[in-house]
Every structure is written in structure tokens, then in C-alpha cells.
């Protein structure tokens, strides 16, 4: 295990009036020739980061993980992929509303974030001409009301905590007024990008507390990628959210150059477990256009994940390593010399739910579509959960 950088208590010279930087020329720490070159990248994919977050970068280190996360790289322009790698368009039933699984609706309720993660799988939302996000949730609320099978609503975007508190409160109030909506999740990276969004807005804390009740909690799905994001203000932000009455859990992708080291990932998971924000999902990087520099092959990802889970308490080891594929959420269960073992946690096609999958091992594969089924090798075959028939092939 390699050495972990010390976690900063906070940026030394920072005062909490956060500014958002959107032009590379404002990055005085980048040499002018690099800024000029990277303009080509930002013209396509945009650039945004808070001055607080940029203050966490060690500019002396070109491989600094915080830098990798928000500062563009020229190789984003190379490589292949689709802008909508999980084919979210196929689940979009109205502007800003996706309905993929019967019980769950996803609302894209904001078109910006506290920063633009370079590996974002929804970077298309920040690009010119995007019309996917809806700021008016009336249609969504009516739709959810009319569908009693929807018990689970995920607010995402963009970052919902960048909505005004009154707008977010109106949306949460509207959802809480629908009796069959049990679980509301809010996906946010604001505790990492700008913790003061929560710390300085008591009305936001009260609003979350009002709608996170004893019988129906609100879940804040934080997005910390690296232990150095867990500064004192970020930890205080999570503390304030928990004291407001919400439940916190963390999900993040496995990112080359950021957290693709078992020591880093395990350190992140342990620290998250200490602050009451245990890890939930680790996502395999989707093959989104421009994301190739940040992707780790599935097999290497599994090795990193497995090694990281050797440390910490059970709460630090609760994460699951998954692929958000267009056919469903697929857990990566294991790898041996010949095969990769997967299982549908959720599936768009009901006949695939719980299905165990066995593929030939391919150390260069980044996505399910790169894998070849192991059928012809008499691999273990498992029926869907509903059938529970198990047959282990000859070995
Ligand atoms: S916080 Fe999430 S939605 Fe926003 S840029 Fe990062 S990955 Fe994309």
C-alpha cells in the first residue's frame, strides 16, 4: 500500500465566500501555453470549479488527484465513446424525467454543478444546446402522483443543492405530499465543491430536516472521490446534514489518477465511515465521450476494490462495485483466472433481475459491451433470482 497524502484541515488562506471559476485564464497556476491548449477542451466540455476546491490542488504536482478531477486534459479530445453512454434517452419520458425501473424515477432538476468533474457521465448537460434538464417540476409531480408504483425518487442533475432553497423546498414538499413516495435521494457533490452551500444556509438545513421524517428519511448521496476532499469544512457540512436529520451515504466512480489505488480508496472509505457517510456504490467509469483518460479496466478495478475492502470496519466495506449499464445496474462480484462474475442488481428487463452472468476474463475490457459470455466454456450458469436454480459447470 502506498503512502496517503495528509488530509488538509482546510485551505489555509481561504475565506468562505466561494467564487466559481469558469475560464482557464483565471487559473494563474497553469502556464499560459497549457491554458491556450486546454481551451480546445473547454470549448467542448466546459470548465467550472470553485476557488475553494482549486485551493486544494497541489499545483507543483502535475498528477495531483484534485487537479485531475477538475482541470481539463488535452487527451479528453481523443478516444471514442458516446455522450449518453447508458442510453438515458431511452428512459426519458419527459424533459428532465427518467423512468427506467418501475419503482424509481430520476429527476434532472438542475443543469449545473459546483464544479465540472472531468469524467462526468452527464457532461452533455453542460454542453451547448442541452435541453434535457427541467426546472419546472409540475409535470414530474403529476406523473409520479399518477403512478403508485413509484416509491423512490432521485433528484440529480447537475446538482440539486445548487437550486435555491425555496425551489428545492417546493420540490421536496411536492414529493412528500405524494403518499406512495417513500424514499427521496438527493445526489450532490456540494459538500466537496462548496461545503458552505450547506453551512451558511440554515434554511436549507431546516428544509431538509422538515421533509426527512422519522418514517421517511431523505438520503443525501454525497460524491467524495478522494480523501483530500474531506477537509474540515466538508466534514462539518456532512455533520450539519446529519444533524438536520438526513441519512448520508457516498457514491463515486473509480477514476484513473484520482482514486485507482487501494490505499487511497480504503482511506477514503474508512474516513467516510467515521463521519457517518459510509460508502454505497463504486461505479465503473461509463464509456462516455471524453472519459477514456479517467477509466480503469474492469479487472484492474476489481483488484483495486477488493484490496481496498481489506481494511477498515464493516461500515467502511459496504460499497458495491457496479456498472450502470443501459440494461440495468450490474454488480461486479469477482474475477478469477478465466472469468468475470457479474449480477444484475437492477434490470430494465424484468426477466434479467437477479441474473448471474459469467463472462470470459478480459483484462482490457472497460464495459460490459467489451465482454464475451463464457457459455462455450461450461461456465457456472445461474437462473434469475425468481427461479433460484443453480448449476455449476464442470471445472
Ligand atoms: S457532480 Fe456529478 S453531475 Fe456534477 S459534474 Fe460531477 S459527476 Fe457530473
Is the C-beta atom of 124 inside 6 A of ligand 1? no
Is the C-beta atom of 271 inside 6 A of ligand 1? no
Is the C-beta atom of 116 inside 6 A of ligand 1? yes
Pocket test for ligand 1, best of 49, 110, 117 (most atoms within 8 A of CB): 117
The answer to the question of residue 187 being in a domain is no
Is the C-beta atom of 111 inside 6 A of ligand 1? no
Centre of ligand 1 from the C-alpha of residue 88, in Å: 15
Per-residue confidence (pLDDT) for residue 285, from 0 to 100 = 97
Q: Is 150 helix (H, G, I), strand (E, B) or coil?
A: coil
The answer to the question of residue 43 being in a domain is yes
> What are the distances in angstroms from CA 260 to CA 82, 135, 324, 329?
23, 35, 19, 21
Contact present, 299 and 261 (Cβ < 8 Å)? no
Question: Structure pTM?
Answer: 0.91
Is the C-beta atom of 20 inside 6 A of ligand 1? no
The answer to the question of residue 210 being in a domain is no
Helix, strand, coil abundance in the chain, percent, nearest 5: 35, 20, 45
Is the C-beta atom of 229 inside 6 A of ligand 1? no
Give the span between the Cα atoms of 390 and 384, in whole angstroms.
9
Give the span between the Cα atoms of 232 and 188, in whole angstroms.
18
Per-residue confidence (pLDDT) for residue 376, from 0 to 100 = 59
Contact present, 136 and 111 (Cβ < 8 Å)? no
Per-residue confidence (pLDDT) for residue 128, from 0 to 100 = 81
Give the span between the Cα atoms of 202 and 204, in whole angstroms.
5
**How many domains in the chain?**
1
Per-residue confidence (pLDDT) for residue 79, from 0 to 100 = 77
Pocket test for ligand 1, best of 223, 254, 255, 282 (most atoms within 8 A of CB): 223
Is the C-beta atom of 223 inside 6 A of ligand 1? yes
The answer to the question of residue 180 being in a domain is no
Residue written as grid cell 463472462:
359
Which domain range does residue 34 map to? 20-77
The answer to the question of residue 150 being in a domain is no
The answer to the question of residue 84 being in a domain is no
The answer to the question of residue 59 being in a domain is yes
Give the span between the Cα atoms of 294 and 274, in whole angstroms.
28
Is the C-beta atom of 117 inside 6 A of ligand 1? yes
Per-residue confidence (pLDDT) for residue 312, from 0 to 100 = 87
Per-residue confidence (pLDDT) for residue 157, from 0 to 100 = 83
The answer to the question of residue 34 being in a domain is yes
Give the span between the Cα atoms of 304 and 308, in whole angstroms.
6
What is the mean pLDDT for each group of 10 consecutive residues in the chain (395 residues)? Answer: 47 69 94 93 96 96 97 92 91 94 95 96 89 86 97 95 96 97 98 97 98 96 98 98 98 98 98 97 96 97 96 92 96 96 94 92 95 69 38 31
Contact present, 153 and 122 (Cβ < 8 Å)? no
Centre of ligand 1 from the C-alpha of residue 304, in Å: 23
Is the C-beta atom of 113 inside 6 A of ligand 1? yes
C-alpha cell at 155: 433528484
Per-residue confidence (pLDDT) for residue 1, from 0 to 100 = 42
Amino acid at each position: 500500500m502506498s503512502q496517503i497524502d495528509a488530509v488538509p484541515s482546510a485551505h489555509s488562506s481561504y475565506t468562505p465566500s466561494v467564487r466559481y471559476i469558469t475560464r482557464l485564464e483565471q487559473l494563474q497556476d497553469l502556464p499560459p501555453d497549457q491554458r491556450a491548449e486546454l481551451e480546445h477542451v473547454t470549448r467542448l466540455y466546459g470548465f467550472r470549479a470553485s476557488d475553494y476546491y482549486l485551493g486544494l490542488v497541489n499545483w507543483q504536482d502535475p498528477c495531483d488527484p484534485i487537479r485531475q478531477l477538475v482541470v481539463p486534459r488535452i487527451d479528453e479530445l481523443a478516444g471514442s465513446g458516446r455522450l449518453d453512454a447508458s442510453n438515458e434517452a431511452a428512459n426519458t419520458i419527459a424533459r428532465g424525467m427518467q423512468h427506467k425501473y418501475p419503482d424509481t424515477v430520476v429527476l434532472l432538476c438542475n443543469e449545473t454543478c459546483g464544479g465540472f468533474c472531468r469524467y462526468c457521465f452527464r457532461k452533455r448537460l453542460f454542453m451547448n444546446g442541452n435541453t434535457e434538464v427541467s426546472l419546472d417540476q409540475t409535470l414530474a409531480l403529476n406523473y409520479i402522483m399518477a403512478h403508485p408504483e413509484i416509491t423512490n425518487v432521485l433528484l440529480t442533475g447537475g446538482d440539486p443543492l445548487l437550486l435555491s432553497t425555496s425551489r428545492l423546498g417546493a420540490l421536496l414538499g411536492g414529493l412528500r405530499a405524494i403518499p406512495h413516495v417513500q424514499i427521496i435521494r438527493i445526489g450532490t457533490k456540494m459538500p466537496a465543491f462548496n461545503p458552505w452551500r450547506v453551512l451558511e444556509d440554515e434554511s436549507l438545513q431546516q428544509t431538509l430536516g422538515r421533509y426527512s421524517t422519522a418514517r421517511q428519511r431523505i438520503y443525501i448521496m454525497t460524491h467524495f472521490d478522494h480523501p483530500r476532499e474531506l477537509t474540515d469544512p466538508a466534514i462539518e457540512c456532512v455533520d450539519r446534514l446529519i444533524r438536520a436529520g438526513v441519512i448520508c451515504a457516498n457514491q463515486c466512480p473509480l477514476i484513473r489518477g484520482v482514486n485507482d489505488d487501494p490505499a487511497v480508496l480504503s482511506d477514503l472509505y474508512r474516513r467516510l465511515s467515521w463521519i457517518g457517510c459510509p460508502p454505497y456504490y463504486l461505479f465503473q467509469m461509463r464509456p462516455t465521450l471524453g472519459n477514456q483518460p479517467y477509466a480503469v479496466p474492469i479487472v484492474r478495478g476489481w483488484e483495486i476494490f477488493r484490496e481496498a475492502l481489506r481494511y477498515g470496519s464493516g461500515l467502511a466495506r459496504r460499497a458495491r462495485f457496479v456498472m450502470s449499464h443501459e440494461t440495468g445496474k450490474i454488480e461486479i462480484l469477482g474475477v478469477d483466472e478465466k472469468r468475470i462474475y457479474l449480477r444484475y442488481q437492477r434490470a430494465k428487463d424484468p426477466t434479467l433481475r437477479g441474473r448471474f452472468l459469467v463472462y470470459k476474463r478480459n483484462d482490457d475490457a472497460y464495459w460490459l459491451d467489451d465482454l464475451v459470455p463464457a457459455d462455450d466454456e461450461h461456465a457456472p450458469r445461474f437462473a434469475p433470482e425468481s427461479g433460484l436454480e443453480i448449476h455449476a459447470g464442470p471445472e
